[in-house]
Amino acid sequence: NSPDSNGMTPELEKAGLLNKTKIAEGGRKLRKNWNLSWVVLVGNSLMFFKDPKTQNSDSWKPGNSCPESSVDLRGAQLQWANELSSKKNVFKLRTVTGNEFLLQSDTDSVIREWYSIIQKVIDRLDKE
């Protein structure tokens, strides 16, 4: 049951700090630039904020500061990608539009929770 499609406010699923780098834009490879990002999963979207002031669970709501970027998870692909970095606990998220992000945390449980909740959203959207 999608909270987006019936006009209801989507629910906050998860928010937290992760290391992030974008590695491709529209299928074109980009140079890595790792940054700490405040990541918010709401409804079908994964949003990235860089302003530390936005690091609370209301940061995604209207009237608060805009995300640096936002990813539509519909049709997205998720995979562990430790071969793509010297860092541990790295996964890659690829959008239908060919944007690719690496997300990373030094804490095993943190990165596993993010992987599993993002995969759950992707699976839910695949079934719609």
Positions that interact with ligand I3S (CB under 6 A): 31-32, 34, 85-87
Residue 34, helix vs strand vs coil: coil
Q: Smallest gap, in angstroms, from Cβ of residue 103 to ligand I3S?
A: 12
Kindly give, in sequence order, each residue whose CB lies less than 8 Å from that of residue 114, ignoring residues fewer than 6 positions away.
Answer: 14, 16, 18, 39, 91, 103, 105
Residue 19 to residue 36: CA distance in whole angstroms: 4
In the complex, what is the shortest distance from the CB of residue 9 to ligand I3S, in angstroms, rounded to a whole number? Answer: 36
60 to 66, 82, 105, 106, 124: CA distances (angstroms): 7, 29, 22, 25, 21
- DSSP 8-state code for residue 108: H
Q: DSSP 3-state assignment of 82?
A: helix
